[in-house]
Amino acid sequence: MLLRGLTWLVLFQLVGTALNHLFLSILPGPIIGLVLLMIYLMIRGEVSEPISLAASSLLRYLPLLLVPPAVGVMVYADQIADDFWAIVGSLVLSLMISLTFAGWLMQKLIDRQSSRREPS
């Protein structure tokens, strides 16, 4: 079951990689694969057991998979140290501003939509 689902996910990514090479060099293969799997699920109208099992197992370990690329920080220690405050300052401030703003905006829009739908 798990293997069959995993095979599907890998196949979708490989098709995505082929499309990436042929037409869409701007979008990486996995993202094209995500869109393709999405379209496939919409056409089928349900998530089959193997795909659902493979997806939930992989996603549970997503943080673990992100550790190796994260360790790459050690290679760029010097460049980061040179512009340290500019980098950290702009990354942190910009994240805090945009994250808070995006959440606030979305909340306001949801509230407005639901109050409009409810019969007053």
Partner 1 sequence: MSLDWQGAWLSVIHHPLFGIAITLGAYQIVLAGYEKTRWVFLQPVLVSMVVVIVVLVSCGLTYVEYRKSTDILSILLGPATVALAVPLYLNLRRIRQLFWPVLTTLVIGGVLATGSCVALGWLLGADHMILMTMAPKSVTSPIAMLVAEQIGGVAALAAVFVLITGVIGGIFGPGLLTLAGVQSPEARGMALGLTAHAVGTSAALQEGDECGAFAALAMSLMGVATALFLPLAVSLVA
Residues within window 11-40 making contact with partner 1, judged by CB under 8 A: 12-13, 16, 26-31, 33-35, 37-38
Q: From the list 1, 2, 18, 59, which residue makes contact with partner 1 (rule: CB under 8 A)? A: 59
| Cβ 72 to partner 1 shortest distance, Å | 6
Q: From the list 1, 3, 18, 101, which residue makes contact with partner 1 (rule: CB under 8 A)? A: 101
The overall longest dimension of the chain from CA atoms, in Å, is: 61
Which 61-100 residues touch partner 1, going by CB under 8 A? 61-76, 79-80, 83, 85-100
Instruction: Tell me how far CA of residue 44 lies from CA of 5, 13, 41, in angstroms.
Output: 15, 18, 5
Q: Quick check: 2 binds partner 1 (CB under 8 A)?
A: no
